[in-house]
Structure 1
Amino acid sequence: MNLEQIQKQVATCSCGNLHYPITIEQISASEKVWQSVVEFVQQKQWRHLLVIGDVNTQMVGYSPLKKALMTVGIDVSIVTLSPNKQGDVLADELSVVQVMLELDDSVDALIALGAGTIHDVTRFCAAKAKIPFLSVPTAPSVDGFTSKGAPLIIRGKKITYQLVSPIAVFIPSDIIRDAPRALIAAGVGDMLGKYTSLLDWRFGAFDGQEPFCPVVARLTEIALSDCVKALPDIYAEKAEGLDQLMDSLILSGIAMLIFGHSHPASGGEHHLSHYWEMDFLTHDRPAVLHGTKVAIATMELIDTYRAMIQEQSDVPKELGDWVTQMPTRQKLESIFNSLQAPLQPEEIGISSLLLASSKREAYRLRKRHTLLKQMSLQTSHFETEERSL
């Protein structure tokens, strides 16, 4: 991935929107990535680093990271985020406070060692402490590693804060390739959700006059397309497939970073996912992987979205062209079945009542002009008319 070439593409864009610079200085992926971390830290002349992880990521990555840094005299310690009573580590106020209590003036930078939740907590704490952070992903499960967005659960509500991106990303390829299958399937789910998020973004620009950038959209399309091409190798858990999945997730995050918001990669499918997550928290239920929820939500929306666009006669050609590229629900079910992932809402504990309420109300979680919003408003209008008859 050539960040300089991406910057040049963005520089030629005439969409008129603000494009944020890519502040990531380095992205490295290898089985010997720990030496790259050491070299980067030495260049920065940092002396004390604080790692943010959980029990699982501490087991798979902290020992080699600590050994590499301490061998050259760099002090490193870790905050192991505590799980809640359901056994889940959450990106919430408690996790943020746990980190901030360990963060003193001697810390030069933070290291996010893990997947989405750990990156969200680290990003928030780094921004508030005004220090940089390094990204060290341990699973190809989400696309938020390189973005500025930190979705946090504040008093039970999912709120996304636009903060800072990592100053560098170091991907331990051996750990990524050995990730649990459920996390791999979640990463594919987060990527295939781009089919509906990109349609929502285009629809929002057409019908709601929301800002849109064709260059950023194209970067997201490339990330999605490359992931889809790699699916046979991902099914087989081949190194090439898992490396490409990670590359696609990283590129999707960079697209969000450039645009400054999550529009390219987060539409109605993410709004449903966030709604379900908040309901699970309210009822003290165990968490479900973000990408797993996104996959289920995408399957719930994709055929309806296609029909909504095809029923309109005045939509721009690019919307019509995009829906012809989108897979059917049946095709998505085939993909996730190959990944041994859940296919139906009830498989992850989403009842028919919760599904129905989320389709009515989840659009309210974000100020976005999406097809989910239009679908919800049309349903509400139809139900009101029926009651008045």
Structure 2
Amino acid sequence: MNEILNMNINEMANISFDCSCGKTHHLDIRKIVMGSNVISELPSILEDFKRKKIYILSDNNTWKAAGEKVYHTLKGNHFDVSSTMIERDENILIPDEKAVGEMFMGLPADTGMIISVGSGTLNDMAKYMSSRAKIPYTIVCTAPSMDGYASSGAPLMNGGRKISYTATLPYAIIGDTDIMKNAPMKMILAGYGDIIGKLTALADWKLSHEITGEYYCETIVKLVQKAINKVVDTRFDLAKRDEDAIFYLIEALILTGVAMGLIGVSRPASGAEHMLSHYWEMAVIATGKNPELHGIKVGIATPIITKIFDKMKDTLPESVFKMAPSAKYTTQLLRDVNAPINPQEAGIDNDLFYRSILEGNTVRKRYSILDYAVKHGNIEKIADEITRNYYMDI
């Protein structure tokens, strides 16, 4: 059981172990390959699919970043490869009905392996396709921007709402640090924000365990905390695109996905901070605008959620309050890397912000500090105080 806490990320594929929580954890990901120039290893990683059709999915940005190299690496090794590149004038690809339709329409008959080249959106789209078409998929990561590489959920837009569909885990995860260290700095900061959000996600999980009796695993918590600590300890090197700092960031993002895969739920990675992010995103998309990157919004939401923990400290179980970070600490972690802190930087006006605190708990059926504040009758007062804190002119 304790061996997993000392493993490197490349050793965790296909792992299975009996845990002190009473469950047997298993990760159904065949291969995890991270490091410098690992795209060149694709022919050997996908050797079992050499006589099958390979379908590569990318957008115009990720094709330039890595898709073209993936295509020619496999083509040059005699793989049967086809490709769909989804072009968008905007910088952000929205995983809506149109994009998902384009993806499916380009899928050749008798495809044996889907390769998605990208980060959050393209990974979500590919895992959805994989689960519905019953074709395995491999993700080639292009940015350390989010934690969904190793998770089975696929958040997609449908009818203007963000819905998390049950999908599947990838056959393989390929994380080439030579590619990811050159990702736009905003995407690196998004990944960092997503990792800082795990601090409140873990506290929410502990809160639900104490209040509702929800299943909780100390081993998984320790695994995620160890990954967070590596990122925090090397945060000042991210601006230099230091390879070790980038490696620890993508390792942490994949590890939190591994943690979700091991227990079958997203508790180790997603709490009230994600609920605020999803609430904001749906509202912004409804106006026809592009939302801010997921991890940037999660980072902004994390100190907000810690403020709610702070305000509820007198009634919280002691074990939960000890686990929850302070607003001061989480704010400083964001300041240290020049990541956005104010919700206004993500296009969130004061009315949307206020409503998100009041109604954020409705985004998912998952107990969190938001539900706790609602139950104790404090949510209106808290929403008013925190909104005034961020929007001084109202």
Structure 1 length as normaliser, TM-score?
0.90
* Structure 1 Cα separation of the partners of residues 126 and 140 of structure 2: 11
1:13 paired residue number: 19
Structure 1 residue 43 corresponds to structure 2 residue 48: yes
How much does 1:241 deviate? 0.6
How much does 1:7 deviate? 7.3
Q: Which secondary structure does the structure 2 equivalent of 1:212 belong to? A: coil
The letter for the 2-side match of 1:339 is V
How much does 1:173 deviate? 1.4
Q: Is the 8 A contact 1:51 1:76 kept in 2?
A: yes
2:5 paired residue number: none
Give 1:312's match in structure 2, choosing from 312, 315, 327. 315
The letter for the 1-side match of 2:337 is L
How much does 1:258 deviate? 1.0
Give 1:124's match in structure 2, choosing from 111, 128, 148. 128
Deviations 1:64-93 (A, max 9, x none): 11111111211222222243x855311222
Q: 1:338 to 1:127 in 2, by over 3 A?
A: same
1:152 paired residue number: 156
Q: Which secondary structure does the structure 1 equivalent of 2:156 belong to? A: strand
Q: Is the 8 A contact 1:91 1:152 kept in 2?
A: yes
* Structure 2 Cα separation of the partners of residues 194 and 61 of structure 1: 28
2:29 paired residue number: 24
What does residue range 250-265 of structure 1 map to in structure 2 within 5 Å? 250-265=254-269
The letter for the 1-side match of 2:365 is K
* Structure 2 Cα separation of the partners of residues 129 and 74 of structure 1: 21
* Structure 2 Cα separation of the partners of residues 364 and 140 of structure 1: 29
How much does 1:207 deviate? 0.6
Gaps of 5+ in 1: 384-389
Q: Which secondary structure does the structure 1 equivalent of 2:274 belong to? A: helix
1:333 paired residue number: 331
How much does 1:46 deviate? 4.1
The letter for the 2-side match of 1:108 is G
1:322 paired residue number: 323
1:373 paired residue number: 371
Structure 1 residue 140 corresponds to structure 2 residue 144: yes
Q: Is the 8 A contact 2:272 2:370 kept in 1?
A: yes
The letter for the 2-side match of 1:285 is K
Q: Is the 8 A contact 1:162 1:261 kept in 2?
A: no
What does residue range 1-389 of structure 1 map to in structure 2 within 5 Å? 1=8, 11-16=17-22, 21-83=26-88, 88-308=92-312, 310-312=313-315, 315=317, 317=319, 319-323=320-324, 326=325, 328-377=326-375, 378-379=377-378
Q: Is the 8 A contact 1:223 1:248 kept in 2?
A: yes
How much does 1:364 deviate? 0.7
Q: Once the two structures are aligned, what percentage of the paired residues are identical?
A: 30
Structure 2 length as normaliser, TM-score?
0.89
Q: Which secondary structure does the structure 2 equivalent of 1:108 belong to? A: strand
How much does 1:337 deviate? 2.9
Q: Is the 8 A contact 1:61 1:113 kept in 2?
A: yes
Q: Is the 8 A contact 2:19 2:25 kept in 1?
A: no
Q: 1:121 to 1:7 in 2, by over 3 A?
A: closer
Gaps of 5+ in 2: 1-7, 383-394
